[in-house]
Amino acid sequence: MGKSGYGLLEGKSGVIFGALNESSIAWAIAEAVHREGGRFALSNAPVARRLGTLDALAERTGSPILWADATDDEDLAKLFEEVKQTYGSIDFIVHSIGMGLNVRKNKPYEALNYNWYHKTLDISAISLHRIVRHALETGALADGASIVALSYIGAQRIFSKYSEMGDAKALLESIVRAFGYRLGKRGIRINAVSQSPTRTTAGSGIDGFDAMYEFAQRLSPLGNADAESCADYVVSLLSDLTRMVTMQTLFHDGGFSAMGISDELVEDLSAALTPKE
Ligand SMILES: NC(=O)c1ccc[n+]([C@@H]2O[C@H](COP(=O)([O-])OP(=O)(O)OC[C@H]3O[C@@H](n4cnc5c(N)ncnc54)[C@H](O)[C@@H]3O)[C@@H](O)[C@H]2O)c1
Residue 201, pLDDT score: 85
Atom of ligand 1 at shortest distance to CA of 51? 37
Would the pLDDT of 277 be above 90?
Answer: no
- 74 burial (CB, 10 Å; 0-12 / 13-18 / 19+) is exposed
71 Cβ below 6 A of ligand 1: yes
Separation of 213 CA from ligand 1 center, angstroms?
17
Q: Which domains does the chain have, with CATH numbers?
A: 13-273 (3.40.50.720)
CA-nearest of 43, 202, 179 to 120 is 202
Q: At what angle do helices 54-61 and 25-35 cross, to 10 degrees?
A: 10
Residue 70, pLDDT score: 98
pLDDT band for position 276 (cuts 50, 70, 90)? confident
pLDDT single digits (tens) 114-154: 999 999 999 999 999 999 999 999 999 999 999 999 999 99
Give catalytic residues, as residue numbers.
152, 162
Q: What are phi and psi of 208, to 5 degrees?
A: 80, 15
Average pLDDT over residues 220-243: 98
Residue 62, pLDDT score: 97
Would the pLDDT of 2 be above 70?
Answer: no
How far apart are alpha carbons 46 and 156 in whole angstroms? 32
How far apart are alpha carbons 198 and 23 in whole angstroms? 9
pLDDT band for position 1 (cuts 50, 70, 90)? low
